[in-house]
Structure 1
């Protein structure tokens, strides 16, 4: 990421603020990767409202993760969102061979990114209106997506 476009953060509150900004800028696509999304505020009313507005406006969302249990247990709002917009949200789980990946990021429209360097820490950076800053993470996401399998279905049958 270029220094001029980078907003560094070191705390959970700063991460959430940058993520809210990124979600608010999204118009077409959201691509997110995290081992389990436990620090993403997917269960908050504010995030739910932002994602509902994004999806109702024609956006599409892709989430890739190692494990979906945290979302299933702690984010009932997101599970409802998945049920309401299942045609616009796709969630995939990575195979065990990719469980060594520990970074975490959210890419909006290929031009905005919030990225934590390691999922165990809150240190990271955000860049907005900076397509070049998203290139590496976009490539990583595409590779992860190809190997991941569908998970977190809106119903028990997956329909």
Structure 2
């Protein structure tokens, strides 16, 4: 019986030696195509920074502040930027509203530092531009608030929609 045990252990040992010897590695390869494309269209986007008049302490007069309109377009594209009259306008006058007491304060937006060209949504009040070779242009928005000294204290605000046509 011990003979049989020895004989049966030999094939098992042989099988383990064969399994442990390294097999020759084979490499396989597949390939495919990856297509790339892009479509460039004439277009513009814009972003804004707010016109914040800050805090007013009792003295009547005109208060000025500025913001920006940043334009990003396809290079050398003509465009026009307009601004509506805001949420609380009365006729052609823009107004900020105090939501607590219902009061209003008049203000104007201009496209020039001399405060002479109102920025509006009418043809004559639009700002015409070209994106140039970089496609990027920044415009300053000049705000002027007329404070009569009689407004009720509180927060006054408005929201003006800025639109770019190209």
Please tell me the TM-score bracket, short chain as reference: under 0.3
The structure that has the greater radius of gyration is 2
- TM, length-normalised to structure 2: 0.22
- TM, length-normalised to structure 1: 0.22
Higher share of residues assigned helix: 1
Higher share of residues assigned strand: 2
